[in-house]
Structure 1
Amino acid sequence: MVKYTYYGHSCFLLDDGKYKVLCDPFLTGNPKAAIKADEVECDYILITHAHGDHLGDAPEIAGRTGAELVGIPEVLAICEERLPGLKQHPMNLGGSLTLPFGKVRMTLAQHSSGVAGGVACGYVIYMGGLVIYFAGDTALFSDMQLIGHKDTLDYAILPIGDNYTMGLEDAAMAAQLLNAPHVIPVHYNTWPIINQDVRHYKEITEAMTRAEVHIVEPGESREL
């Protein structure tokens, strides 16, 4: 069993009762943030890319909590510049990393990276007996089908905001390609430019896939 807590935008926490994994901790300056950066607790931080609304407060949270950072080397170098001496696990696309809570595999994402020489990524997270795919910021791409084929997913956490990432229709197609039984939408309604009708996303996705879409509001938790 894993508890998912949504902190707003693309930031969420996975908690298996022993380890806490925080993803894309953009909290300071996030108008939808449900927690402050100096309040969140975690053991690991997964970073998908270096844009400010994803890298966010990662170095400062890691420095305060002792959490270990996972990400592309160029992204982790930014963290090191901001706060030297942090615990780091550099990875790259296609690589896997075994950690005390389970395993993470770094996947392709079709998006700019926010740092020269870097790339954007997603993660397949093995934790608490579940397989959870976090797409990060991405466009729809056909190799999502390979992600769902290689890893039998339980949950897919997908951006739906459009403009910078997939919109509603493409994110519904992504759910179809991934073939996950459960989908959680993120990266929407933070600012007007990515406002979306999340209930419409739920309707169209459930109409064209086997997935059940779970709408989790900032500050809410859900047992996966």
Structure 2
Amino acid sequence: MPADRPYDRRRLLRDAAVGAAAVSTAGLATGVPARAAAPAPAGAPITAARARRSGAVSFRWWGTAGWRIDIGDRTVLVDPYLSRYDTGLFTGRFNPDTPLTVDAARIDPLVDRAENILVTHTHWDHFNDVPHIAVRTGARVVGTLTAYHLGLAYGLPAGRLAPVKGGEVLDFGDYTVEVVSSLHSRNGSWSLAFPGVRVSPPPRPEKISDLPEGDTLAYQIRVAGGPSVFFTGASDLNERNLTGLTPDVAMVASAATTSTADYVPRLMAALDHPKIVVPVHWDNFETPLTNPPTVAASDRERLDDLIAAVRKASPRSRVLLPEYHTAYHF
């Protein structure tokens, strides 16, 4: 597809991918990968320290930048996008007027509960399913002021929308959430898809271009007695905002282009070289959430470049390539 096409996927949101079939964790991880385990048991509340000792703190990748984190019987979601419908982004016929679609049949079996939903930014592949999940579970939605106003547009009550800017450290007892002001990925024109913010509630969104970027956040979750884990939803950063985070694990969005200078070396240094680095946002998020993940063969180089850059900039970090639904215990 010509590079000057206005909606070329390489100039929009597209992040690194690994080829037509998924690469196993064992094939690309350096050292011993984090332990995958059975789903966390439901039942009476337990402390996070007990959950950690019993192996009940788990992290499951839901594709794109999406995660389910179970801390005992408490659940936090990050950018949960499960509907995964076709916009033409991966086939060279991207349609910004694609109607927003929520696939409850896909979502509901996976989302039995959630108390907090952390939104990095409000593009459709991060925010599309958030209102439905918030209604279904009664979860609180944490995000930018744009996420707040979009939540109101979807009819969510203001009391369950928590606007943040970055710098907040939210205490939920068994875990804390530190909010980090961040930056969205740059495309090949050094710009980004659907820029803009919502400073008041708009009409209810109907198409994917109704969901602008709306500023970008990152989050760090620290589990009492367990790991500290850093989550990104896009591949740019202000390293000055990351000073002192020092996470055990970093979920790192693969870069869509080379527009952001020294992305990986700056990120690894700013995070003080995490023990484990998990690439995210490299799969084709317009295909079903089944293993092996569907990815575009032409984009394998981007993920290879990310892994090579991590190994060079942070050689003691282990690289873990996740699979859908697998519960990882860090």
How would you bin the TM-score normalised by the shorter chain?
0.7 to 0.9
Tell me which residue corresponds to 1:28: 83
Tell me which residue corresponds to 2:229: 132
Pair 1:176-2:249 in alignment: no
Pair 1:62-2:134 in alignment: yes
Which aligned pairs between 1:114-153 and structure 2 lie closer than 5 A? 115-117=197-199, 118-128=214-224, 129-143=226-240, 147=242, 149-153=243-247
Amino acid of the structure 1 residue aligned with 2:313: M
Tell me which residue corresponds to 1:47: 119
Tell me which residue corresponds to 1:19: 74
Query: TM-score, with normalisation over the residues of structure 2?
Result: 0.59
Q: Secondary structure at the match of 1:183?
A: strand
**Is contact 1:22-1:44 (8 Å) kept?**
yes
Amino acid of the structure 2 residue aligned with 1:84: L
Q: Structure 1 residues 162, 193: closer, same or farther in 2, change over 3 A?
A: farther
Distance in 1, matches of 2:259 and 2:61, equals 19
Pair 1:107-2:189 in alignment: no
Distance in 1, matches of 2:132 and 2:310, equals 37
Amino acid of the structure 2 residue aligned with 1:103: T
Tell me which residue corresponds to 1:202: 307
Pair 1:186-2:291 in alignment: no
Distance in 2, matches of 1:58 and 1:51, equals 11
Q: 1:134 deviation in Å?
A: 0.9
Candidates 154, 164, 189, aligned match of 1:91: 164
Tell me which residue corresponds to 1:81: 153
Structure with the greater alpha carbon radius of gyration: 2
Q: Which has the higher contact order (CA 8 A, sep 6+)?
A: 2
Q: 1:43 deviation in Å?
A: 2.0
Q: 1:114 deviation in Å?
A: 5.3
Distance in 2, matches of 1:115 and 1:9, equals 22
Amino acid of the structure 2 residue aligned with 1:55: F
Q: Secondary structure at the match of 2:170?
A: strand
Q: Secondary structure at the match of 1:156?
A: strand
Amino acid of the structure 2 residue aligned with 1:174: L
Query: TM-score, with normalisation over the residues of structure 1?
Result: 0.83
Tell me which residue corresponds to 2:318: 212
Q: Structure 1 residues 30, 98: closer, same or farther in 2, change over 3 A?
A: farther
Q: 1:201 deviation in Å?
A: 3.1
Unaligned ranges ≥5, structure 1: none
Distance in 1, matches of 2:265 and 2:280, equals 13
Tell me which residue corresponds to 1:7: 62
Compute the RMSD of aligned alpha carbons.
Answer: 2.9
Give the length in aligned residue pairs.
218
Distance in 2, matches of 1:161 and 1:193, equals 16
Q: 1:71 deviation in Å?
A: 1.1
**Is contact 1:71-1:90 (8 Å) kept?**
yes
Tell me which residue corresponds to 2:107: 37
Amino acid of the structure 1 residue aligned with 2:275: P
Q: Secondary structure at the match of 1:116?
A: coil
Unaligned ranges ≥5, structure 2: 1-51, 87-102, 185-191, 200-213, 286-295
1:170-208 per-position Cα deviation (integer Å, ceiling 9, x unaligned)? 235422331211111101132649934445533441233
Amino acid of the structure 1 residue aligned with 2:198: A
Q: Structure 1 residues 182, 30: closer, same or farther in 2, change over 3 A?
A: farther
Q: Secondary structure at the match of 1:150?
A: coil
Q: Which has the higher strand share?
A: 1
Distance in 1, matches of 2:253 and 2:260, equals 6
Q: 1:62 deviation in Å?
A: 0.9
Distance in 2, matches of 1:67 and 1:188, equals 27
